[in-house]
Structure 1
Amino acid sequence: MNVELQLVKLEEREILSNLLEKYDYEFSQYDNRDVNKLGLYGYQYLDYYWTEKNRWAYFIIVDGNLAGFVMVIDFPEVDDRDTDFQIAEFFVMYKYRRTGVGKQAIFKVLDIHKGKWQLKRHPKNLPSVYFWDKVISDYTNGNYELVNSYPRTEYDDGTLADVFFFNS
């Protein structure tokens, strides 16, 4: 499988917005969010990816097919630690899960954006817990810090996030 990252262009905004709805629908089983009156979750920060610097949205492309996205920002998840980058959102469509696509995509993002990272995960999202534990451990050769239930990192359901700290 050939995995590539493609920077999302402004004219591809609607495609990313459509994928974000699928992502938010899936994630709502963990954070209990509701849709709005239009039946959408909406992503309030989407336009910032083309109007503010230090925001990067990438499509994950597998053998020429759209397989998901990765969104990177420089805003810290936790306010008491310095960071250069964090994964704002990450989504791989079901067809491509457990095939190594997600790992390859994350490795590519981390190689593009060298520096100090923070990564937040929802502890009830067990597939995500397994994925991030494995991927970050593999990428860093076990050289990372994980803080469970980090203060002031509540999801919409009130659950405190687990936060990784590592370098790329």
Structure 2
Amino acid sequence: MNIELRRVTVEDKEILKNLLEKYDYEFSQWDNRDVNKLGLYGYDYLDCYWTEENRWAFFIVVDENLAGFVMVNDYPEVDEKTDYSLAEFFVMYKYRRNGIGKFVAMKVFDMFHGKWQLKRHPKNIASVHFWNKVISEYTGDNYKLVESYPNSEYDDGTLGDIFLFEN
């Protein structure tokens, strides 16, 4: 299996926009977000990935097939001084539970050295288990996890859990 991260170009923006809709549809089971009048979730910050510095979007490509995406920026989710935030992370169902997500997460962390923060929704139990395992392994258990971090609300009002670590 060949796993690659490919930088999303402005010409590929529509593809990322389409994948973000699938991601947001899945995520709506935890944050209870509704679609807009056009039947879409939308992603308010999509254009920022080509108009602002310090925003990076990558497609996850497995054997030349789109398998998801990962988005990184330097915009903090919470009031902690960090260099990078894992903004969005999506692996399509077909590609889950075979090490692709772990490989991609670790590769992205290795690409950007500094202080990281990562927010997860505590109701997304699969994500809770995934990030607990990946971050523990990546950092050798040298991280901080703040559950129900103040002022980290999702659309449903649930406070996010925040991982903080340095690489």
TM-score in terms of structure 1 length: 0.98
| Aligned counterpart, 1:134 | 133
**Amino acid in structure 2 at the alignment position of 1:84:** D
- The 5 A counterparts of 1:141-160 are 141-160=140-159
Partner Cα separation in structure 2 for residue 129 and residue 155 of structure 1: 15
Q: Deviations over 1:121-159 (max 9, x none)?
A: 000000000000000011111110100000000000000
| Aligned counterpart, 1:166 | 165
- The 5 A counterparts of 1:6-155 are 6-79=6-79, 81-155=80-154
Partner Cα separation in structure 2 for residue 135 and residue 65 of structure 1: 24
**Alpha-carbon RMSD:** 0.5
Partner Cα separation in structure 1 for residue 76 and residue 42 of structure 2: 22
Tell me the secondary structure at the aligned position of residue 138 of structure 1: helix
Partner Cα separation in structure 2 for residue 141 and residue 91 of structure 1: 24
State, as a whole percentage, how many aligned pairs show the same letter.
71
**Amino acid in structure 1 at the alignment position of 2:60:** I
Tell me the secondary structure at the aligned position of residue 72 of structure 1: strand
Partner Cα separation in structure 1 for residue 5 and residue 129 of structure 2: 23
Tell me the secondary structure at the aligned position of residue 114 of structure 1: coil
* Equivalent residue pairs, number: 167
TM-score in terms of structure 2 length: 0.99
Is 1:4 the counterpart of 2:4? The answer is: yes
**Amino acid in structure 1 at the alignment position of 2:38:** L
* Structure 2: segments with no counterpart, 5+ residues: none
**Amino acid in structure 2 at the alignment position of 1:73:** N
Please report how far the alpha carbon of residue 10 of structure 1 lies from its aligned counterpart in structure 2 after TM superposition. 0.2
Partner Cα separation in structure 1 for residue 128 and residue 3 of structure 2: 22
Partner Cα separation in structure 1 for residue 20 and residue 8 of structure 2: 13
Partner Cα separation in structure 2 for residue 77 and residue 36 of structure 1: 24
Please report how far the alpha carbon of residue 91 of structure 1 lies from its aligned counterpart in structure 2 after TM superposition. 0.2
Partner Cα separation in structure 2 for residue 2 and residue 143 of structure 1: 30
Tell me the secondary structure at the aligned position of residue 159 of structure 1: coil
